[in-house]
Chains A and B, each alone.
Chain A
């Protein structure tokens, strides 16, 4: 919300520099996002940081308020005129200008009422009105079509007030000097007349009460300890009593607790007073006419939206009789044409303002087109009502409409505001539009807001803030915010003022008040302390520790961690399974009701999709990829509202085994199944997990011949291997083999034992012996190794496969496996005979169990 400081000063004296005020407001929860300067200089205050402003400062000597006394025709140009400017100097200054808004006054001779304007003298710095880019210029003497010209009357754009360069600034009413409060004379520095500072204040939902200039003024008064000057709610009522001229019927007080009306007759529709138009412009509103502008002005001034109806149109709709205003929910099928030129299908929860003939407006949000104020309106029925904020918010969301009225009502306006808003509105309308006001206001208030009274023991303030407050100090702070406070010993009895709805009852009310005390007192003045309270028992999150260990091991193995979007498209996950292969995951999806993008409509079932999609985009720059991801997948089963969220580990390798280098001899082959298996083994080693069993995998996304399942001590962990060529093709991956793994991380980490044993370092020398065994090519290497271990007994300490060979002279259908065996006894040096005996036993066992032959 834009808060012009000149307007704020109507209600409170600002005793500190505006930059400091902005800081104080920010610290008190009214966040000032930016400060906009109109003509006045920025002040730099020690310890307060605001970005350097680049605005134009109006030279106090050269940019002045002036009165145009006469507009003469230009002797040589139809599209130019000569403005005769009184800038407070001895003689009138002649300015050549093409401003179209002066042409109406051309050739009228000296004007009875001068035109007030902003004038810049020779040498003044202004913005260049003709430049599309912001550009400054210094005014210089420059004849225009033969007429000397050295100064100028300014447009809003030239002064940095807006982008408008249509005409020059013109006021018909003599503006005020902000310093003296008196009418400003020609020659007054423009800074003192139109100079201003606009604070852009962000308001959190709890600050509904401050959603107006006066609302902000209340906070400023409390922060500065200054008295507050409320606007006047006095009204001159001289017309016939309102009773009998209009009736109100509220059908649902929960949704419409209060509805007030006033009637104004014989109004003249015309532009609003210039000061009001100016203020509306400062807060970002376009002036329309005196009636509509007053409704807007009150909305911005005190936060109570008003709505004006054309009374005669209502009478006509009532068949010439006094109208009855009815607030109610819609009948089935009802529609409304709103002021934003839309026909709205009304929903059952939309509260409406109607008459006996039908719907007039969407209550508290937007008026209907039919009964709006027009240029020919004479009699005005003015509404100030109160609405249930939750319901207004629902309607704004479902009807997709945002208005200044709706924004305020949806955050909560106190019903007490309605009458104040109505009275203020009537009087401002009467003054600008003439006419007479019917005596009395019609006030239907079926659901009065309760007066909230909270008893606040002073010790509660200390309990929650950690700082001692005296009853007097706490009471003073609350009184500064217009609470009524009675001190009863150590307890404050606090009555909430009738402009705020955010203070609850009992313990909640206490917390609400304590926050107000802390906020105004200043969070910075509350000390920093260390928690003195009992330390809860400390514990270790074992699952997290193991997960982080997993990350460390994988990083040590040379892999990069990735983290992906967990929202995916199930159609994309379907591509992970070639036609005819079984499903990847037997579970339902958590699907979004309101997805934002077609490729992010549900939560993932697997990490494989993320791995492959990332691999494909990385393949554009990087042939070699070694990555992993740890994160949840989301598996929903029937009849379950919340999914299971098990954690998974995914790994992907692809590309050359070694990083490419300038030493070409080292260019290596692409990674294959065994590179991935090496990573898997390295991971298990790093986690000190033993008991891994690898078997052929039946994983739909993997190559049936080059993939394995992993189970540990009988628990299935997952599968890994080369991506199925059809899947690689479906994801448009390069030809290079892509190796992937997906493991159930929780099952894997359940296998971690926190204590693992080490073996003592032997002091005796080992004996190394090689052995090559020829077996059938179907015999798994793991079976050969197992047989060796079994037969080797205690003396066998190490088995390392160092060669696998097929081909001549090995018979077809066979392979040779060569192992390096390490024999060692811990207590003695082994003799050749001992070793030979064991080796013999191994060979025999392999021959017997695997039909192996010792290779000569």
Chain B
């Protein structure tokens, strides 16, 4: 038995010396020192040894077991270190290979701009009010102070439907009438809304013009709303949209449903006003049409224009998006080419 024990000890040590990977080392440990390991078994078979030799055998066996355990711990640490070193050294990948692509979704750029606008206007107390795409001629034009055959109608090329008096809205402004009648409670309540929506114009689709486009209209009605408020509000919007230093310019213009009317330019945010392709070398980019709500429109919305006043504005989310991302072809918006959409 003694001899057997000593042989086992020598064999085990020799074997351990030759092991270089962690798995083999751990297998060695269970083979010799585990619950069913060789050393353990020998210790258990101590009963077969004559009584007088037992103490010495037991002592030696325990010495060997401890020595082997110590050798194992040493070896195991060494092998772990070697393995780690090997992995750090040899486990490198070609980091220039492309990663595994995860399919990602994304919002349409027009939606992204609309959301930006909703958020800014919400901060300023304007809520989203939506109204219909198919409108009556009356709401789209007449109630907005644009009588039939009036030359101002030349400002909107219109899609007519086969139902007389029914058209596709040319702008979101008819929503002003709906909002005033719906929210104004017969001209007794102030209003602050924005009216986003799809509009349609009888225009050939080219890189520069679309027959379908979003507009975002704004409307504020109150007992004391002034043109200076309109300017202050639009300027505040421009600072939120284009940065704290955005310079804004107000040009007199004409819309039948506002008076005074104006167009709003922001200093080109790409060239800082020096002139570039996007601003057509003018240094300014048009961002909105606006004005004080015309007394006739107030009346048509149920308000007494001698007591109530208001302002309205309209913006083009697609134009804003084009300027922001240097998009040169407006047709990209509704073509839904994934190669375009995936850039957002």
Residues of chain A at the chain B interface (Cβ within 8 Å):
26-29, 31, 49-52, 204-208, 389-391, 393-394, 410-412, 462-467, 507-508, 511-512, 514-515, 518-519, 523-524, 526-536, 538-541, 543-544, 548, 551, 554-567, 590-597, 600, 603, 610, 614, 617-618, 621-622, 624-627, 631-632, 634, 641-643, 645, 658-659, 661-663, 666
Contacts and interface: CB of A to CB of B under 8 A. Distances in A.
A642 B107 contact: no
A592 B98 CA distance: 50
B253 interface: yes
Contacts of A555: 105-107
B251 A27 contact: yes
B160 to A, nearest CB: 4
A853 to B, nearest CB: 40
A536 B189 contact: yes
Given A514-B260, A533-B220, 10 more contacts: A49-B283, A466-B226, A531-B222, A564-B334, A566-B133, A595-B159, A618-B337, A621-B338, A624-B103, A641-B163
B334 A531 contact: no
Contact of A507 (B191, B305, B335): B305
B250 A523 contact: yes
Given A49-B273, A464-B292, A555-B106, A533 B254 contact: no
The 7 lowest CB-CB distance pairs between A and B, nearest first, are A466-B228, A466-B226, A29-B252, A533-B222, A204-B254, A555-B105, A51-B281
Interface string B235-260: 11000000000000111111000011
19 contacts: A204-B253, A205-B151, A206-B152, A390-B151, A410-B151, A508-B296, A512-B259, A515-B261, A518-B227, A530-B232, A533-B220, A540-B127, A560-B342, A561-B108, A566-B212, A618-B338, A642-B132, A645-B134, A661-B98
A627 B103 CA distance: 11
Contacts of B128: 541, 544
Given A515-B259, A560-B105, A539 B249 contact: no
A632 B133 contact: yes
B294 interface: yes
Nearest to A597: B205
Contact of A529 (B115, B202, B204, B228): B228
Nearest to B294: A511
A379 B114 CA distance: 66
Contacts of B200: 567
Contact of B227 (A465, A508, A666): A465
A36 B47 CA distance: 119
B233 interface: yes
Nearest to A27: B251
Contacts of B232: 527-531
A565 B295 contact: no
A410 B153 CA distance: 12
A49 B261 contact: no
A429 B212 CA distance: 51
Contacts of A533: 190, 220, 222-225, 229
B166 interface: yes
- Which residue, of B128, B160, B202, B203, has the highest number of chain A Cβ atoms within 10 A? B128
B235 A534 contact: no
B111 interface: yes
Contact of B105 (A206, A507, A508, A554): A554
B260 A519 contact: yes
Contact of B341 (A207, A412, A561, A590): A561
Contacts of B261: 515
A143 to B, nearest CB: 44
B152 A205 contact: yes
Contacts, number: 280
Interface string B149-184: 111101100011111011010000000000000010
B257 to A, nearest CB: 12
A530 B295 CA distance: 22
* Chain B interface size range: 35 or more
B339 interface: yes
A802 to B, nearest CB: 24
B160 A593 contact: yes
A300 to B, nearest CB: 19
Contacts of A206: 152, 254
B129 interface: yes
Interface string B70-113: 00000000000000000000000000011011111111101100
Contacts of A643: 134
A464 B226 contact: yes
B312 to A, nearest CB: 14
Contact of B337 (A531, A554, A617, A632): A617
A532 B224 CA distance: 7
B249 A389 contact: no
A103 B128 CA distance: 75
B179 to A, nearest CB: 11
Contacts of B335: 614, 617
A645 B231 contact: no
- Which residue, of B125, B254, B273, has the highest number of chain A Cβ atoms within 10 A? B254
Given A28-B252, A641-B136, A531 B163 contact: no
B51 interface: no
A29 B251 contact: yes
B249 A463 contact: no
Contact of A659 (B102, B228, B251): B102
Contacts of A529: 226, 228-229, 231-232
A563 B333 contact: yes
A363 to B, nearest CB: 16
B152 A563 contact: no
Given A523-B231, A532-B229, A560-B338, A596 B202 contact: yes
Contact of B309 (A464, A565, A634): A464
- Which residue, of A52, A389, A393, A592, has the highest number of chain B Cβ atoms within 10 A? A592
- Which residue, of B108, B147, B191, B200, has the highest number of chain A Cβ atoms within 10 A? B108
B66 to A, nearest CB: 39
A464 B100 CA distance: 61
Nearest to A204: B254
B275 A625 contact: no
A108 to B, nearest CB: 51
Nearest to B263: A31
Nearest to B98: A662
B149 A390 contact: yes
A52 B281 contact: yes
Contacts of A631: 198
B331 to A, nearest CB: 10
B336 interface: yes
B44 interface: no
Given A29-B254, A508-B296, A541-B127, A642 B134 contact: yes
B55 interface: no
A528 B280 contact: no
Contacts of A466: 226-229
Contacts of A666: 100
A536 B160 contact: no
B341 A562 contact: yes
A563 B110 contact: yes
B211 interface: yes
A21 to B, nearest CB: 15
A641 to B, nearest CB: 5
A29 B260 CA distance: 11
Contact of A591 (B100, B162, B342): B162
A679 B115 CA distance: 24
B91 to A, nearest CB: 18
A661 B101 contact: yes
Contacts of A27: 249-252
B164 to A, nearest CB: 9
B282 interface: yes
Given A519-B252, A556-B105, A592 B160 contact: yes
B306 A507 contact: yes
A754 B97 CA distance: 45
A643 B161 CA distance: 11
B216 interface: no
Nearest to A611: B336
